[in-house]
Chains A and B, each alone.
Chain A
């Protein structure tokens, strides 16, 4: 048993290093586009070689075999027998993608997408065959070839080997097997919405399979135990369907079967041959791998050992000495430091009750303790910080591919890549950023002709910038495209019933409408975006991180999306407020200002809501004592303080009795021992040892909205 655990540990290292290697390959390949120099090619080759060796050592033969083909191609480029062409680079980039998926599948102990790999292997083999370079393993090259010729046509789609479902009624269509992973729902992705999108493509029949749902006692409500078989009728492009599942392709398993329509029976035989041929190809390939072992077996462990040694050397030497630490250890350390901060502030309070003589000494000691603790805390938090370049790194590739696909000329500018943020925040901000950049490319930037006609330079610019500002990290996605079309947005919002026909909205409010669920003004839904399932997920993901996202735009000139995130998830800069005998914490990030409210500025509107006139805008008033069901000092607005907070682009006034101190609080969740509470983001322990609840501002606003007029948004 412990041997298994050891193997798991070793495998883990292999996976981590493989992913790193694949990243190196990708960024180097992108560079290769511009300057095909020896050193870059050698670097890519070495990375592929390591992965091949490591995979073979651990018995991940499919990975190893596939990488072998890639390595052969690179070897030819390295020793000059093959020129570096854009097509070859594109194929290599795709191979890196395929490899990445393979390694992920192996890591998750799930089946590899054999089809995709076989296709790529085919293409590599064909490319290799065209220029007889130093073909290292002729048998390996020959094996995929019979598969290519045996297949009736290189169909990038699995033709349904079974009979077409009745629902398709003999017409063309798809059967999609959609199996979300357990945690897919936690990424704010809702299958229902995806099915609704599919329905727009054609008639849809949804068959749910609930056999994996556990008994109620073991059921975790936010885990997805369902899988679905979706029958979609219509002559629909596969890409259109894939686009619907784009957001979740990392969190689910999907397989597609196409039915060509009437005459499905005759289509079957040649089609059935393809999967068989692929297997036949896999068999000889495996056979050659098996027959090769004697020479390989000696070479591979050596390669494996060399591969293991090389990356270690690389990471040891190049990096000014870095060390891999498990995140559990770091988290534990952060917890301990959090406790230390609380203990230290508790002690500070006790100093208030001592005799003058002792007091001086005690005070000195405590001041020192405070200083030490703060420094320790800052240092420990630093451990979890990583530069945002980890997230920005995928964009050169993305922009490169996407601009080619859309026929637009784009220059990507990155700044502030060294800005550091917490690892978890980094991981969770990646997807939203990808979506925003894709949007900017697809909807923001105009085609070259349109740009020239508008007097702009032909090449558009997308800027990704990150910097620290006041205890937060700001990330900006800027484009110099066409900007948001105010009239279009307003019209679409009215069509969707989000806004009353006669409501007057400011530019800001109109811009924020694009964050509404399902909203899209795209006339044509492209492969890339336009389906309207994106922006609201982006905003929700950012909110879950405790951040805010704003958009500003000028028609004709471009748009800027500004994301503000706290530097860490564990600690919050909070404003303590008092309502009656209860203390609550409101995140400083959300607070705009605090004012003493005057009664004459309060107005009531039909439905029971109250609006407060703040300079030139009206903001709804949220009475915290009502929301939380506690007794306040006074119910009169002029006796309390109005804390103006901003959530989802709009402002609200939260009525409290008093403001207390501002302090850093350690966020603890209620969900471990209790459960989630609407309007409450978590809890913290104050200096006096008592528990204070942390107000979830966006959540509170939602509860507040729902308590009036059935949740209609208030557009003042």
Chain B
């Protein structure tokens, strides 16, 4: 991560949230930093039978069995080859059964930003490659548009998705 000292990236204030942003295709997405457990490089996952195509499988994360989701596939973007910047962001989300640890494959990790709650705008009804149910809002930082993801919803839906299909 770069060491650009922008004002926005200093201590998180109470009226702001801190977000980790990452690249997917041409867009930059943001997730609540409190949900991020770690960032690691990509490694091959063990395939799970009858899983949706965006679930690449499970990996061993210091003894825990963690599923890996390819976000490009999940958002119906074209898959690209995994390269040196391909990383897995491991997030911990709240789910009915307790906490779930899941890894998401992204193109590259960008920055950590502070975004004031007041600066978060509602997502438009139309147009993004992401189902707007998973978008908490939009924010503009350094003239870039960040898509703030509702990571709990996204992960839980992605895991439970396909229960109807597979069962």
Q: Report whether A680 and B48 are in contact in the complex, using a CB–CB cutoff of 8 Å.
A: yes
Interface residues of A in 550-582 (CB under 8 A from B): 582
> How many interface residues does chain B have, given as a range?
20 to 34
Please tell me if B164 contacts chain A, counting CB pairs below 8 Å.
no
Please tell me if A70 contacts chain B, counting CB pairs below 8 Å.
no
Stretch from A55-63, A94-102, A168-176, A216-224 contacting the other chain? A216-224
Of the candidates A219, A582, A673, the one whose C-beta lies within 8 Å of that of B96 is: A219
Once A and B bind, how many residue pairs between them come within 8 Å at the CB atom?
81
Please tell me if B124 contacts chain A, counting CB pairs below 8 Å.
no
A693 to B101, CA, bound (A): 18
Q: Report whether B96 and A675 are in contact in the complex, using a CB–CB cutoff of 8 Å.
A: no
22 A-B contacts (beta carbon < 8 Å): A217-B96, A219-B96, A629-B50, A630-B49, A668-B65, A670-B58, A672-B101, A673-B65, A674-B48, A674-B65, A677-B48, A677-B51, A678-B50, A678-B166, A680-B48, A683-B65, A690-B44, A690-B60, A691-B45, A691-B46, A691-B57, A693-B48
Chain A interface residue count, CB cutoff 8 Å, equals 32
Residues in chain B near residue A219, CB distance under 8 A:
96
Q: Report whether B63 and A339 are in contact in the complex, using a CB–CB cutoff of 8 Å.
A: yes
Q: Report whether B50 and A674 are in contact in the complex, using a CB–CB cutoff of 8 Å.
A: no
Residues in chain A near residue B97, CB distance under 8 A:
220, 671-672
Q: A220-B96, A673-B67 are in contact. Are A679 and B58 (CB under 8 A)?
A: no
- For B152, the closest partner residue in chain A by CB is A217
Please tell me if A373 contacts chain B, counting CB pairs below 8 Å.
no
Interface residues of A in 608-658 (CB under 8 A from B): 627-630
A342 to B60, CA, bound (A): 12
Q: Report whether B60 and A670 are in contact in the complex, using a CB–CB cutoff of 8 Å.
A: no
Please tell me if B98 contacts chain A, counting CB pairs below 8 Å.
yes
Please tell me if B121 contacts chain A, counting CB pairs below 8 Å.
no
A582 to B49, CA, bound (A): 11
Q: How close is B104's CB to chain A, nearest CB, in angstroms? A: 13
Please tell me if B59 contacts chain A, counting CB pairs below 8 Å.
yes
A220 to B64, CA, bound (A): 22
A220 to B96, CA, bound (A): 6
Q: Report whether B96 and A342 are in contact in the complex, using a CB–CB cutoff of 8 Å.
A: no
Please tell me if A89 contacts chain B, counting CB pairs below 8 Å.
no
- For B162, the closest partner residue in chain A by CB is A675
Residues in chain A near residue B101, CB distance under 8 A:
672-673
Q: Report whether A673 and B60 are in contact in the complex, using a CB–CB cutoff of 8 Å.
A: no
Of the candidates A669, A677, A689, the one whose C-beta lies within 8 Å of that of B50 is: A677
Q: Report whether A675 and B49 are in contact in the complex, using a CB–CB cutoff of 8 Å.
A: no
- For B155, the closest partner residue in chain A by CB is A673
Q: Report whether B49 and A691 are in contact in the complex, using a CB–CB cutoff of 8 Å.
A: no
Residues in chain B near residue A683, CB distance under 8 A:
46, 58, 65
Annotate A143-169 by CB proximity to B: 1 below 8 A, 0 otherwise. 000000000000000000000000000
Please tell me if A369 contacts chain B, counting CB pairs below 8 Å.
no
Of the candidates B67, B166, B167, the one whose C-beta lies within 8 Å of that of A674 is: B67
A685 to B51, CA, bound (A): 20
Q: Report whether B63 and A685 are in contact in the complex, using a CB–CB cutoff of 8 Å.
A: yes
Please tell me if B66 contacts chain A, counting CB pairs below 8 Å.
yes
Annotate B138-165 by CB proximity to A: 1 below 8 A, 0 otherwise. 0000000000000000000001100100
Q: Report whether B159 and A691 are in contact in the complex, using a CB–CB cutoff of 8 Å.
A: no
